[in-house]
Amino acid sequence: MAMSFEWPWQYRFPPFFTLQPNMDTRQKQLAAWCSLVLSFCRLHKQSSMTVMEAQESPLFNNVKLQRKLPVESIQIVLEELRKKGNLEWLDKNKSSFLIMWRRPEEWGKLIYQWVSRSGQNNSVFTLYELTCGEDTEDEEFHGLDEATLLRALQALQQEHKAEIITVSDGRGVKFF
């Protein structure tokens, strides 16, 4: 897990792990945290997490610096991400969440662009074909996790650009 991830300067700045009392400073702090969470999860290909995992992850716990973001503040960061559309709670107790470094609408747009570009409107795909098929190897959404994919397709469905259907052994989607 120790890949060459470039931590931002704030990560080595001790007060970054204390929720700032000054509102302007807090806004900057939260924006930096949101950005850090998304790039960390993107690099580590992590699409979901529990709050317990988050607390102990190097993301919120800088062992070398001896600072960790307290759980109440982690909750505030997660709420910011939810408001921005990058996070969805997976349970009522808010103990685990889906994290999407790109919002579902943005993924939906990319997928639909590929469908149109390759002249495949009115075609049917299985979810597997979309994210693991040869045809999509060069696309950014290749390898996308199923939970995020479904939400992306749901976004397209809302725009009447797609319909999620049942196929022989699971789910698929038809594009219009």
Partner 1 sequence: MLGVGDFYYELGVQIIEVCLALKHRNGGLITLEELHQQVLKGRGKFAQDVSQDDLIRAIKKLKALGTGFSIIPVGGTYLIQSVPAELNMDHTVVLQLAEKSGYVTVSDIKATLKWETERARQVLEHLLKEGLAWLDLQAPGEAHYWLPALFTDLYSQEITADEAREALP
| Contacting residues toward partner 1, per CB under 8 A | 9, 12-18, 20-22, 24-25, 28-29, 66-68
DSSP code of residue 87: E
Distance CA 30, CA 76 (A): 8
Do 164 and 151 form a contact (C-beta atoms < 8 A)? no
Find the shortest distance in angstroms from Cβ 11 to partner 1. Answer: 10
Taking the least distance from each CB to partner 1, the nearer of 67 and 171 is: 67
| 37 vs 153 by CB, closer to partner 1 | 37
Phi-psi region of 122 (alpha: psi -120 to 50; beta: other; left: phi over 0): left
Least separation in angstroms between CB 15 and partner 1: 4
Gap between the Cα atoms of 11 and 61, Å rounded: 10
Among 56, 58, 102, 95, CA closest to 78 = 95
Specify the residue for token string 């997490």: 49
Q: How far apart are CA 141 and CA 157, in angstroms?
A: 17
Q: Which is nearer to partner 1, 24 or 137 (CB)?
A: 24
Identity of the residue, 32 or 164, whose beta carbon is nearer to partner 1 in the bound complex? 32
Which C-beta is closer to partner 1: that of 11 or that of 114? 11
CB of 68 to partner 1, least distance (A): 8
Residue 148 and residue 88 in contact, taking contact as beta carbons nearer than 8 Å: no
CB of 156 to partner 1, least distance (A): 30
CB of 49 to partner 1, least distance (A): 23
What SS3 class is residue 16? Answer: helix
